[in-house]
A and B are shown apart, each in its own frame.
Chain A
Amino acid sequence: MIAEALTGLVFLPLLAACAVVVLPRRMLAVPALLGLLPLPLLLAPIVAEVARLGEVLMPIAGFERPLGIVWRVDPLAATLLGLNAVIGIAIGAYAAAGQPPASEAGRRFWSLWLLLIAGMNALLLSADLFNLFVTLELVTLSAIGLLVLEGKPAALRAAMRYLLLALLGSLAYLLGVALVYGQAGTLDLYQAGDLLDATLLPLTALVLMTVGLLLKSAIFPLHGWLPAAHGNAPGPVSAVLSAMVVKVSLYLVWRLWFWLAADWSLGWAPVLLGALGAGAILYGSVLALLQVRLKMMIAYSTVAQLGYLMLAFPLLGAVGFGAATYHLLSHGLAKAALFLAAANLLKGFGSDRLEDLRGADRRLPIEVFTIALAGISILGLPPSGGFVAKWLLLQAAWAQDGWVWIGVILVGGLLAAAYLFRPLAVLTARPPAEPQAGATEPRRAASLIALLLAFAALAAGFVPAPILGFLAGGTPPGAVP
């Protein structure tokens, strides 16, 4: 039962992606629905089992480690699988509202979309370092394919830069995997962690894998490729890139540091990673404040918000780990809502330059309301998921007298308020700007889906206890209690 559900999480969207390629055009809605809608149903028994046992292991085809590949679900993986299903369905529905699946453009979108969701599910399940490399490539290639669907020159340039850097990141990761295998003789992440200790070659491997993955996650100062890619992608693609794609590679860094290298004493290294996060928060926020285009502003906000996820390294503990995961969750929902609302504004006004969007609340009130609601969660005002996450991060920093981290979190919140109030002031200013040539009214369903995601980010502020309790069942071994 559990094994079938786990298999379905990966193979259902994967088979649906293949079906989209070969089926006649008028039937394309069928695989699009069947590939995504059952995912929450498949997840429910898995989550129940993880809550009961703490983790679920599945050796693929019955081959045990070290030869076989094992899938492992713990509370962290289960939470991210849930977010992936929500994002996949919500943004998929948004895309279908703007562009019906039964068209050639729909075929191109849905084949890659389902492949991306399948790839991310496989990445979240896998415990095999080489299998993780393959899933990382699958995620990167399908994400970049989605990015260039509209064929804008700016998006093509951004995609090309993203591709070259992502390949460089993958190779650095793979080099690390080769070193781990050479030392430990196993590719299983958890077995390798038991066999290796902090000597020269395993440390080199950890550094190589970390740098490669941080490049893929666009962590400051390796963020250079992100704003142009996320800011020029088609609307639903920007949303999934910021909400999920950059985070699955960072999730893998957590796995390496908190599980594989849990008992290596790494001295100042976690503080260094936290410092990169602090740099991301400050630099990304200031750059977000300077943008003239709404989507570029949101993209730089992603650079900044990813920094909070890096604070998990110095603040690792039961509280800090739950806080960072909660931030990942609520930021995913809020950022998807922001990008979808921005895409609707871009469609409704033919431009996403802030000066062209003056007074947009007159014509598109739902979009402006969505940006305000999602903004509440991004800047961490109560009651919202972002507030819970930042409050817990502050608690974790307080508990270890980390005054610098407290300062960074507070200043980051202030800067977020500044960069979010600026577009809101313009969007509600008078007199309103006229739409540019080529502007078309966004679909009502598209507006409502963005609003729903913003509400979900707020709702995360009301139900922290069950989610945090669930996550506490899988606090990493490297966390000090």
Chain B
Amino acid sequence: MTSATVWVLAAASIFGIGLYALIVARHLLRQLVAVNVMGSAVFVLLVVAAGPIAGSLDGIPLALVLTGIVVAVSATGFALALIVRLAEATGSISLEHDGEPDDR
């Protein structure tokens, strides 16, 4: 097994862990952290694609990771603001709610 394969497998398992947490978690902050964990897995894969293990380094994937981090930070900030608004409006930090369903 080459070391690149190890990193790809690591990225795949981090992505899987994040996906699992996104599905089973009920608390919105946990779900948001899960999405960020999945994002990190993609960044690991992009760094592997940059080829530091093969020796020669390709700058483009590293630039993509930087841009990706900027996008992830803004999306996370937006999601946090939304969670605060939701908690203020409904008193709940979860998407499950009792009472009138939203389609009535």
Contact A181 B97 (CB under 8 A): no
A292: interface (CB < 8 Å) = yes
Residues of A within 8 A of B31 (CB): 164
Residues of B within 8 A of A461 (CB): none
Contact partner of A160 among B41, B46, B86, CB < 8 A? Answer: B86
A22: interface (CB < 8 Å) = no
What is the bound-complex CA distance between A187 and B64, given in angstroms? Answer: 11
Question: Would you give the shortest CB distance from A414 to chain B, in whole angstroms?
Answer: 24
Question: Would you give the shortest CB distance from A19 to chain B, in whole angstroms?
Answer: 20
Interface residues of B in 27-56 (CB under 8 A from A): 28, 31-32, 35, 38-39, 41-42, 45-46, 48-49
Interface 1/0 per residue, B12-31 and A, CB below 8 Å? 00010001001000001001
Interface 1/0 per residue, A293-314 and B, CB below 8 Å? 1001000000000000000000
Contact partner of A168 among B35, B48, B90, CB < 8 A? Answer: B35
B75: interface (CB < 8 Å) = yes
Contact A167 B75 (CB under 8 A): yes
Among B82, B97, B104, chain A packs the most CB atoms within 10 A around the CB of B82
Contact partner of A141 among B41, B74, B89, CB < 8 A? Answer: B74
Contact partner of A181 among B32, B49, B74, CB < 8 A? Answer: B49
Contact A160 B102 (CB under 8 A): no
Contact B89 A178 (CB under 8 A): no
Interface 1/0 per residue, A232-259 and B, CB below 8 Å? 1000000000000000000000000000
B98: interface (CB < 8 Å) = no
What is the bound-complex CA distance between A181 and B43, given in angstroms? Answer: 13
What is the bound-complex CA distance between A152 and B88, given in angstroms? Answer: 11
What is the bound-complex CA distance between A156 and B35, given in angstroms? Answer: 19
Residues of A within 8 A of B89 (CB): 151-153, 156
For B61, the closest partner residue in chain A by CB is: A181
Residues of A within 8 A of B68 (CB): 133, 174
What is the bound-complex CA distance between A148 and B45, given in angstroms? Answer: 34
Interface residues of A in 306-329 (CB under 8 A from B): none
- Whether A160 touches B35, Cβ cut-off 8 Å, given contacts A168-B22, A293-B104, is no
Contact partner of A175 among B15, B35, B48, CB < 8 A? Answer: B15
B1: interface (CB < 8 Å) = no
Contact partner of B103 among A134, A153, A171, A231, CB < 8 A? Answer: A231
- Whether A164 touches B49, Cβ cut-off 8 Å, given contacts A134-B67, A157-B90, is no
Contact B42 A174 (CB under 8 A): yes
A369: interface (CB < 8 Å) = no
B10: interface (CB < 8 Å) = no
Contact partner of B45 among A130, A156, A178, CB < 8 A? Answer: A178
B-side binding surface: helix, strand, loop or mixed? Answer: helix
For B85, the closest partner residue in chain A by CB is: A156
What is the bound-complex CA distance between A163 and B83, given in angstroms? Answer: 11
Contact A232 B60 (CB under 8 A): no
Interface residues of A in 134-169 (CB under 8 A from B): 134, 137, 141, 144-145, 148, 151-154, 156-161, 163-164, 167-168
Residues of B within 8 A of A167 (CB): 35, 75, 79
- Whether A157 touches B95, Cβ cut-off 8 Å, given contacts A144-B82, A181-B61, is yes
- Whether A296 touches B103, Cβ cut-off 8 Å, given contacts A134-B71, A160-B28, A171-B42, is yes
- Whether A227 touches B35, Cβ cut-off 8 Å, given contacts A130-B64, A148-B82, is no
Contact A171 B38 (CB under 8 A): yes
What is the bound-complex CA distance between A232 and B79, given in angstroms? Answer: 19
Contact B75 A141 (CB under 8 A): yes
For B47, the closest partner residue in chain A by CB is: A178
What is the bound-complex CA distance between A167 and B31, given in angstroms? Answer: 11
Interface residues of A in 348-392 (CB under 8 A from B): 353
Interface 1/0 per residue, B63-78 and A, CB below 8 Å? 0100110010011001
For B15, the closest partner residue in chain A by CB is: A175
Contact B61 A178 (CB under 8 A): yes
Contact B60 A181 (CB under 8 A): yes
Residues of B within 8 A of A178 (CB): 42, 45-46, 49, 61, 64
Query: Can you list 29 A-B contacts (CB < 8 A)?
Result: A67-B60, A134-B67, A137-B71, A137-B74, A145-B78, A151-B89, A157-B95, A157-B102, A160-B83, A161-B95, A163-B79, A164-B22, A164-B35, A168-B19, A171-B38, A171-B39, A174-B68, A175-B15, A178-B42, A178-B46, A181-B49, A181-B60, A181-B61, A187-B60, A227-B103, A228-B103, A291-B103, A293-B104, A353-B104
**Sample of 14 more A-B contacts, CB < 8 Å, known A137-B75, A160-B83, A178-B42:** A130-B64, A134-B71, A144-B78, A151-B85, A152-B89, A153-B86, A157-B95, A157-B97, A160-B28, A167-B79, A168-B38, A174-B42, A185-B58, A231-B103
What are the 6 closest A-B residue pairs judged by CB atoms, nearest first?
A: A182-B49, A154-B102, A156-B86, A178-B45, A228-B102, A153-B90
Chain B interface residues toward A at CB < 8 A? 15, 19, 22, 28, 31-32, 35, 38-39, 41-42, 45-46, 48-49, 58, 60-61, 64, 67-68, 71, 74-75, 78-79, 82-83, 85-86, 89-90, 95, 97, 102-104
